[in-house]
């Protein structure tokens, strides 16, 4: 039975209304719909009976205002909001629950556009990752999964299969161009990871663009990124992307890059074991900003970016040759959430967005000033400093204490095996102090 002041969010687009949805639609005093969904609903058998009760509102804030005003009038009957597909799959359902409370809402979903798309291209969808780019460049500030169009190559490397909700800005052509840029030449690359690109080639990727799903003029276009980039596609559409070749262990890993896989000056890289502890001490968030100061080869930036695609990683390095090297490593591993800044700290830091995490691998003799500036910019978070000498350890502790950070120190001593005269011996690396400061 209907309840007073209750909102019914009913998904449409692919199937006839179910028994309960039909009853609610026919009894509703008003049905809210966008222009597009109004056009879709005209194909339904119930349309003629309720067409005079449909109110078209295209902007979500205006829809919310109308519903709020409706709820404020106690004599009003329940209201129906027509939604696209499954309202809780990157849809309006989440926003309605946030605005009006779960107890005041009932959701009756249709199939999602992604279910339809994967069915059309005959691909299983239980092993795919899904992202929504719907809403333009600012959608990353609002959506639950903080991925942007630039994150697609990295996500595809991890999963091999993706479903993507698009919009006019983040459209199939843009997605195809991003994949072309990340994977480089359509011919096989020379190295396992491909200098200048990810392992494999864009010709090993198949894209399916599904236009106007559920409409009479529905169209499915399949091709490589090169082929899709040359096309044009009508809205609305969704994209299914699949990597057809064996991705291999080197690109499947999420954490644990090896020194030999990262371009660097001889000896000037955070050693694998030390990097692992450093990343652990940083306790990286899924989103936010990480500064990597004195980034060197960018190894810490690479690991952080691969672990957390939604994290904005800013690598700051003063030596131009190393800046170039970081750029090559970013391209090699397609860590497109890494930005490289050429400059010396602390001067290069003043205009950067406030950090949530900071790693200081090199300070150029300005450690105290850097920590002071970080303290001023950071509202709360963690700073990790790696030190090879007792002098730097003492300087780091003094800087943290002067700026009110709670502090912890670990010493990392690593020995690696090597073969000498047919015997396996252990050879010690220089110990490293890892100093952690936290601002609460």
Range of the domain at 59: 7-110
Is there a single domain that holds both residue 350 and residue 393? yes
Domain boundary among 54, 77, 110: 110
Q: Encoding tokens for residue 337?
A: 């959430």
With a pLDDT cut of 70, the percent of the chain lying above it is: 89
- pLDDT tens for 332-390 read 887 878 999 999 999 999 999 999 999 999 998 999 999 999 999 999 999 999 999 99
Is residue 190 one of the residues assigned to a domain? yes
Is there a single domain that holds both residue 285 and residue 368? yes
Is there a single domain that holds both residue 260 and residue 345? yes
Q: What is the number of structural domains in the chain?
A: 3
Q: What is the mean pLDDT of the chain?
A: 88
Judge whether 156 and 214 are in contact, CB under 8 Å: no
Query: Does the model's pTM come out above 0.75?
Result: no
Could you give the CA distance from residue 49 to residue 116 in angstroms, rounded to a whole number? Answer: 28
Q: Angle at the Cα of 189 (from 186 to 192), degrees rounded to 5?
A: 140
Which residue has 């691909």 as its token pair? 123
> How many angstroms separate the Cα of 434 from the Cα of each of 120, 161, 313, 391, 409?
53, 39, 20, 13, 6
Residue 158 clears pLDDT 80, i.e. is over it: no
3-class secondary structure, 302: helix
Could you give the CA distance from residue 239 to residue 229 in angstroms, rounded to a whole number? Answer: 13
- pLDDT tens for 303-347 read 999 899 889 999 999 999 999 999 998 888 878 789 999 999 999
Is there a single domain that holds both residue 268 and residue 417? yes
What does the pLDDT read at residue 76?
A: 67
- pLDDT tens for 14-53 read 999 999 999 999 999 999 999 999 999 999 999 999 999 9
The CATH number given to whatever domain includes residue 37 is 3.40.1010.10
Is there a single domain that holds both residue 229 and residue 175? yes
Domain boundary among 251, 280, 300: 251
Is there a single domain that holds both residue 86 and residue 123? no
Is there a single domain that holds both residue 89 and residue 134? no
Is residue 1 one of the residues assigned to a domain? no
Is residue 2 one of the residues assigned to a domain? no
Question: How large is the average pLDDT for residues 251-278?
Answer: 84
Domain boundary among 251, 272, 294: 251
Is there a single domain that holds both residue 145 and residue 215? yes
């Amino acid at each position: 039975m209907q309840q007073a002041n209750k909102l019914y969010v009913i998904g449409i687009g692919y199937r006839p209304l179910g028994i309960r949805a039909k009853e609610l639609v026919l009894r509703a005093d008003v049905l809210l719909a966008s222009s597009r969904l109004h056009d879709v609903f005209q194909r339904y058998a119930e349309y003629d009976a309720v067409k005079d009760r449909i109110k078209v509102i295209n902007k979500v804030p205006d829809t919310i205002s109308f519903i709020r005003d409706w709820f404020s009038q106690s004599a009003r009957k329940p209201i129906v909001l027509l939604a696209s597909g499954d309202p809780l799959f990157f849809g309006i359902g989440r926003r309605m629950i946030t605005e009006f409370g779960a107890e005041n809402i009932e959701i009756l979903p249709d199939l999602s556009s992604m279910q339809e798309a994967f069915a059309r291209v005959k691909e299983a969808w239980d092993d795919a990752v899904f992202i929504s780019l719907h809403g333009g460049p600012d959608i990353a500030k609002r959506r639950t999964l903080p991925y942007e169009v630039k994150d697609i190559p990295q996500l595809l490397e991890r999963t091999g299969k993706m479903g993507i909700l698009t919009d006019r800005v983040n459209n199939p052509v843009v997605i195809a161009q991003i994949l072309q840029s990340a994977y480089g030449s359509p011919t096989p690359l020379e190295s396992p990871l491909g200098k200048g690109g990810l392992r494999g080639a864009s010709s090993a990727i198949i894209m399916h663009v599904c236009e106007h799903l559920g409409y009479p003029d529905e169209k499915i276009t399949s091709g490589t990124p090169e082929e899709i980039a040359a096309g044009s596609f009508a809205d609305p559409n969704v994209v299914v992307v699949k990597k057809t070749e064996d991705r291999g262990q080197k690109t499947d890993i999420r954490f644990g890059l090896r020194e030999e896989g990262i371009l660097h000056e001889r000896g000037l890289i955070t050693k694998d074991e030390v990097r692992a502890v450093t990343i652990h001490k940083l306790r990286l968030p899924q989103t936010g900003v990480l500064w990597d100061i004195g980034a060197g080869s960018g190894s810490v930036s690479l690991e952080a970016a691969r672990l957390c695609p939604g994290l904005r990683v800013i690598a700051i390095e003063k030596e131009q040759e190393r800046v170039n090297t970081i750029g090559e490593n970013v391209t090699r591993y397609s860590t497109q959430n890494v930005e490289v800044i050429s400059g010396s700290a602390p001067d290069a830091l003043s205009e950067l967005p406030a950090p949530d995490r900071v790693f200081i691998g090199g300070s150029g003799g300005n450690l105290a000033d850097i920590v002071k500036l970080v303290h001023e910019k950071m509202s709360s978070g963690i700073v990790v400093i790696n030190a090879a000498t007792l002098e730097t350890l003492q300087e780091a502790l003094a800087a943290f204490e002067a700026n009110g950070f709670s502090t912890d120190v670990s010493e990392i001593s690593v020995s690696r095996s090597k073969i000498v005269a047919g015997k396996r011996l252990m050879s010690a690396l220089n110990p490293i102090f890892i100093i952690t400061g936290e601002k609460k």
